[in-house]
Structure 1
Amino acid sequence: MTLGLLLIPIISAGIGWYINGLAIKMLFHPKVPKKILGIRFQGILPKNQPLIAAKLGTLASAELLSFEDIIAKVTNAENIEKLMPVVGTHIDHFLRVKLAEKMPVISMFIGEKTISELKGVFMEELKTLFPALMGSYVNNLQKDLDLAQIITQKVASISSDKLEEIFYNVMNKQLRYIKLIGAVIGFIIGILQIGITLLKF
């Protein structure tokens, strides 16, 4: 077997590696449309970014994040309970400090026991009020905000360079495998070419 035949699998492997690498590169390049021999070329993702953004916006608002999910989260009893210590601190400050500043005469007749009782009443009432209040707020917010449109605009406004950076950061290992597969397939094709060549003789 000559050296030329032995080089065929190696060259084929190199071609397979390069072609797969080129295909990956063409996902993002050229980033702006270019004409080559009268044919318009542009990277697949930059060309389709507006369409991808619209699809992601629709998917995210319908499947990943909805106002129903937000309402369920903000009105959840456990989450309301987490707010109560902060609310309690403000109510306590109001009864002990703010009330004395705004209504000094009334505050003179409010002792420690009354403050504690008032605070307890306020806290219990707010536990009932908060879920309805937050649910109403989110419902009103839904009328003013279009989640699908917001997500679409955000994704569409991301630069091609940033998209490429994110893509390579997330998929770097998998992209190496794709190139390696191309090299392996090229090597196998090269071996088959040697076999076909030898059979002729």
Structure 2
Amino acid sequence: MKWMMFVAAPVICAFIGWLTNYLAVKMLFHPRKPIKIFSLTIQGIFPKRKKALAANLAMMVQDNLISEKDVAAVIDSPEFAATFREMIQEGLETFVREKLVGIHPMVGMFLNDETMEKIRGLLASQLDEIVPQFLKRGAQEVEDRFDVARLVREKVEGFSMDQLELLLVSIMQKEFRFIELVGAVLGFVIGIFQSLFFLLGGSL
């Protein structure tokens, strides 16, 4: 009988440890709505603290991951300016070759390769002056108007709890499983110590 208790106690304690941590993980998200039991109110941590979570996450993203200045720096970078300039030049040349000739067929008579090369050179020189100024103003507008923290906060607050739970579980599934496993292991170890205590206590 004592040996049965020695075997059973670690298994039972392991199950209790696993179940306790499993319920603790579930109670991060459930119950969705507050449940009152006499003077005690029970609600999942994330549903209860959703707005605070959204605000803290928004500030973390803005302070540590990406901010308005980061976006503005990309827009104002030489690499972006070069790509943007090429896109505008290609668009203007296409407009001249296809659209402008379609509107005024007489223009097509003068658009030979030599003329297009002159137009291309003129566009290039003008874009070299205009694009950096244009992008600098655009970067400043982004920095003034683009509020990363507000956007993140509104997005998170707009999530349903089902979406939020699915997102967090997909990111932290291994960690949640580890927490449950730790509960089982600790329970098993405690059960062994209890069994040893009973066995040694009974033999004294």
Q: Compute the TM-score of the two structures, normalised by the length of structure 2.
A: 0.87
- The whole-number CA distance in structure 2 between the counterparts of 1:55 and 1:82 is 36
Q: 2:179 — aligned with what? A: 178
For 1:157, the aligned partner's letter is G
- The whole-number CA distance in structure 2 between the counterparts of 1:50 and 1:159 is 12
Deviates more, 1:154-163 or 1:62-71: 62-71
For 2:45, the aligned partner's letter is I
Alpha carbons 1:57, 1:152 under 8 Å: kept: yes
The alignment's C-alpha RMSD in Å is: 2.2
> What SS does structure 2 have at the residue aligned with 1:40?
strand
Q: 1:43 — aligned with what? A: 44
- The whole-number CA distance in structure 2 between the counterparts of 1:146 and 1:72 is 15
Q: 2:7 — aligned with what? A: 6
Instruction: State the Cα deviation string for residues 113-167 of structure 1 (Å, max 9, x = none).
Output: 1221221221243244223212212322443343222211111111111111112
Alpha carbons 2:61, 2:149 under 8 Å: kept: yes
Q: 1:160 — aligned with what? A: 161
Q: CA deviation at 1:85?
A: 4.0
- The whole-number CA distance in structure 2 between the counterparts of 1:95 and 1:144 is 35
Q: Compute the TM-score of the two structures, normalised by the length of structure 1.
A: 0.88
Alpha carbons 1:49, 1:156 under 8 Å: kept: yes
> What SS does structure 1 have at the residue aligned with 2:185?
helix
Task: Give the unaligned 5+ runs of structure 2.
Answer: none
For 1:79, the aligned partner's letter is F
For 2:52, the aligned partner's letter is L
The answer to whether structure 1 residue 18 and structure 2 residue 19 are counterparts is yes
Task: Give the unaligned 5+ runs of structure 1.
Answer: none
- The whole-number CA distance in structure 1 between the counterparts of 2:99 and 2:13 is 82
For 1:90, the aligned partner's letter is G
Alpha carbons 2:6, 2:196 under 8 Å: kept: no
Alpha carbons 2:32, 2:43 under 8 Å: kept: yes
Instruction: State the Cα deviation string for residues 35-63 of structure 1 (Å, max 9, x = none).
Output: 12320111011111101111122222233
The answer to whether structure 1 residue 74 and structure 2 residue 75 are counterparts is yes
- The whole-number CA distance in structure 1 between the counterparts of 2:5 and 2:20 is 22
